[in-house]
Structure 1
Amino acid sequence: MRLPVLAAISLAVSFTLSEARAAQELNVYTHPSFAAEWGPGPAVKEAFEKQCDCTLNYTVLNSGGDILQRLRLEGSSSQADVVLGLDTGTMEMARQTGLLAPHSRKMDNLSLPVDWQDNIFVPYDWGYFAFVYDTEQLPNPPESLEALINAPDDLKIIIQDPRTSTPGLGLLLWMHAVYGDQAGAKWRQLSGKILTTTQSWSDGYFSLFMNGEAPMILSYSTSPAYHMAIDKTDRYQAALFEEGHYLQVEVAALVKSSEHQELAREFLDFMHTPAFQRHIPLKNVMYPAIDLGDELPQVFNRLIEPAQTFYIEPATVADQRRELVNEWLNALTR
């Protein structure tokens, strides 16, 4: 009679562990375009909860910059288990907070334009910054960054603030990569064409650009994929600049103070599976971090392909960021 007793005890322990795991909640700090109804967040939540038997919650902040600021303000008392939405422009500053913990996964199945070996940050997508334009308002867009800078001031563009927005910081780095010490002068030339500078990408894209407030906006080379595949229109396209385009890799990381370390690491591992990555191309509208093969939507074959990729190492970005932001502020306020 001992075997049935042992089996019953084992079954009871199994139920107890299962109930304990189901009661766990994983809190992910992220930005609106990930967590939105049309973004990958809802589908990722559903897929991961089926795997983990837990609850995945999103705390939505305005931008990648706000995620970093929130992390700094909360310190070791943060309620976040994972931060998702930082990028190669902000990750070194996040690393320097000392609030993030190493992940435990190998980076052997990635499909990125750069070699990735980092023990803190796990990439989940990538893309190139580009100016997206409305072909009905602007049938002949500038074909280079230099042409945009020298265009008449009646051509209006929307950009994002580099202090709060990762695309905004990306443009700062793009300008610096192309023009170096001359970037300040180029910003002054460009300033007359800037209709407005928004706090986040979503503020500018959906509230202003899609309502026809300006014919061009700083966005991504991948943005037209959504319009072509979902909206069934070729109206919005990315301008291919002859100088080249700046690369962004978006990342997630484990928060050191998390009380759910095992579950958080499971989520970071999950990010590199097709169950997560298949939602990236048309919901986050970026290139997936792994090779999806035939699952990559065909519209991605119609996107611009930069002749040159600009990329500044994250540690260098952290060292130069304050100086570049000040240069930008000085140029735009003269």
Structure 2
Amino acid sequence: MRNHAIATALALALAAGAAVQAETLTIYTYDSFAAEWGPGPAVVAGFKAVCGCDVALVSAGDGAELLARLRLEGARSPADVVLGLDTNLMARAAATGLFAPHGLMLPALDLPIAWDDALFVPYDWGWFAFVHDRALPNPPDSFEALIASELSILIQDPRSSTPGLGLVYWIEAAHPGRAAEIWAGLAPRIVTVTAGWSEAYGLFLQGEADMVLSYTTSPAYHLIAEDDDTKVAAAFAEGHYLQVEVAGIPAAAPNPGLARDFLEFLLGAEVQAILPTTNWMYPAITPTEGLPQGFETLMIPDTTLHFPPEEAAAIRDRAIATWRDALAR
């Protein structure tokens, strides 16, 4: 009887252990977040330490590709969290019906815009900018100055990349009614259009172009991680377009409770403190100790440009068609 009891207890313990081991949080995110040099590994390690679960970080291209993949998979998707959409994609994502309310009471956020959304939780933000070498003679201070120059640029595809889409909206917001004209002028400056940010920035670092579409915070990486102050962001007189990155829970998430725990963790002090020097963006909540040394050197735009999610969704197709037609000529 005693041996039977021991065997039964052991079987129950093994079954319980298997059940715990089987609980895996699956996070869909973009390439640079999941990269070994991105925030993904540290965020996963930190959450695993508090959740007692396993975490699968699935890289699915760039931000816009995340939504495309989720739409393709629909209710069959194994994703518990989609991390890496932004305000330009939020209304489109919400319209799919594939996201559930997060149900969280969010803490006070340090964003340039007010935030009240039931589906998506912001975790970091930044301004788009063209990054160049400090030694570049006469860097442009506007889109028109860039057009008038002989400089070469690298950009991303707005159909797959959130920075690429951000540039489309930046031009629409900075030059209402003149987007086609601006794109026609920029077309000769464009060396190539990449699917995502990583490819474009890598080509820039290899010397393939004078400037690359990135963020005002990108020079912080070179300064802090490489002790290199040779990269700067060009300040444009029209202002710079804002990106707020968000995470959401699919309606068909296998582990919705665990997903909500992760979103709370994402806004916690541990993650918010590492995002500036891993994702190289401003955190949604400024750490108590402030931003890392080096961020005070970054260019701060005089004007923030931004379309609310619904307006961004309404003009998206037209804006992308304007971009496509200009580059096809």
Task: Give TM-score, length-normalised by structure 2.
Answer: 0.94
Contact 1:150 1:190 survives alignment (8 Å) = no
Contact 1:107 1:116 survives alignment (8 Å) = no
- Confirm or deny that 1:272 pairs with 2:271: no
**1:29 — aligned with what?**
28
Deviations 1:3-27 (A, max 9, x none): xxxxxxxxx9999767634431000
- Return closer, same or farther for 1:290/1:17 CA change in 2, 3 Å cut-off: farther
Q: Which shows bigger deviation, 20-29 or 172-181?
A: 20-29
1:214-233 counterparts in 2 under 5 A? 214-233=209-228
**1:78 — aligned with what?**
77
**1:180 — aligned with what?**
176
Contact 2:132 2:231 survives alignment (8 Å) = yes
**1:148 — aligned with what?**
146
Whole-angstrom distance in 1 between the partners of 2:14 and 2:118 = 35
Deviations 1:218-259 (A, max 9, x none): 000000001000010111111111111000000000011011
- Return closer, same or farther for 1:269/1:15 CA change in 2, 3 Å cut-off: farther
- Confirm or deny that 1:197 pairs with 2:193: yes
1:178 Cα deviation after fit: 1.0
**1:170 — aligned with what?**
166
Deviations 1:20-44 (A, max 9, x none): 3443100000011101000000000
Contact 1:107 1:117 survives alignment (8 Å) = no
**2:92 — aligned with what?**
93
Percent identical among aligned pairs is 49
Whole-angstrom distance in 2 between the partners of 1:59 and 1:333 = 34
- Confirm or deny that 1:110 pairs with 2:109: yes
Q: Which runs of 5+ in 2 are unaligned?
A: 1-10
Partner of 1:293, secondary structure, is coil
**1:120 — aligned with what?**
119
1:279 Cα deviation after fit: 1.6
Contact 2:130 2:234 survives alignment (8 Å) = yes
Partner of 1:148, secondary structure, is helix
Whole-angstrom distance in 2 between the partners of 1:113 and 1:46 = 30
**1:300 — aligned with what?**
295
Partner amino acid, structure 2, of 1:275 = E
Whole-angstrom distance in 2 between the partners of 1:283 and 1:262 = 27
Whole-angstrom distance in 2 between the partners of 1:98 and 1:329 = 28
When the two chains are superposed, the root-mean-square deviation of aligned CA atoms in Å is 1.9
Whole-angstrom distance in 2 between the partners of 1:110 and 1:162 = 28
**1:4 — aligned with what?**
none
**2:38 — aligned with what?**
39
Whole-angstrom distance in 2 between the partners of 1:225 and 1:15 = 48
Partner amino acid, structure 1, of 2:255 = H
1:140 Cα deviation after fit: 2.7
1:181 Cα deviation after fit: 1.1
1:295 Cα deviation after fit: 4.7
Partner of 2:117, secondary structure, is coil
Whole-angstrom distance in 1 between the partners of 2:90 and 2:252 = 18
Whole-angstrom distance in 1 between the partners of 2:148 and 2:180 = 14
Whole-angstrom distance in 2 between the partners of 1:133 and 1:229 = 17
- Return closer, same or farther for 1:247/1:14 CA change in 2, 3 Å cut-off: farther
Contact 2:78 2:254 survives alignment (8 Å) = no
**1:333 — aligned with what?**
328
Contact 2:155 2:200 survives alignment (8 Å) = yes
Whole-angstrom distance in 2 between the partners of 1:188 and 1:79 = 42
Whole-angstrom distance in 2 between the partners of 1:291 and 1:284 = 14
Partner amino acid, structure 2, of 1:202 = S
Q: Which of residues 301, 308, 315 in structure 2 aligns to 1:320?
A: 315
Whole-angstrom distance in 1 between the partners of 2:207 and 2:322 = 30
**1:51 — aligned with what?**
50
1:333 Cα deviation after fit: 1.4
Partner amino acid, structure 1, of 2:50 = Q
**2:8 — aligned with what?**
none
1:145 Cα deviation after fit: 2.2
Contact 2:79 2:254 survives alignment (8 Å) = no
**1:5 — aligned with what?**
none
Q: Which runs of 5+ in 1 are unaligned?
A: 1-11
Partner amino acid, structure 1, of 2:279 = N
Partner of 2:226, secondary structure, is coil
Whole-angstrom distance in 2 between the partners of 1:79 and 1:192 = 43
- Return closer, same or farther for 1:15/1:300 CA change in 2, 3 Å cut-off: farther
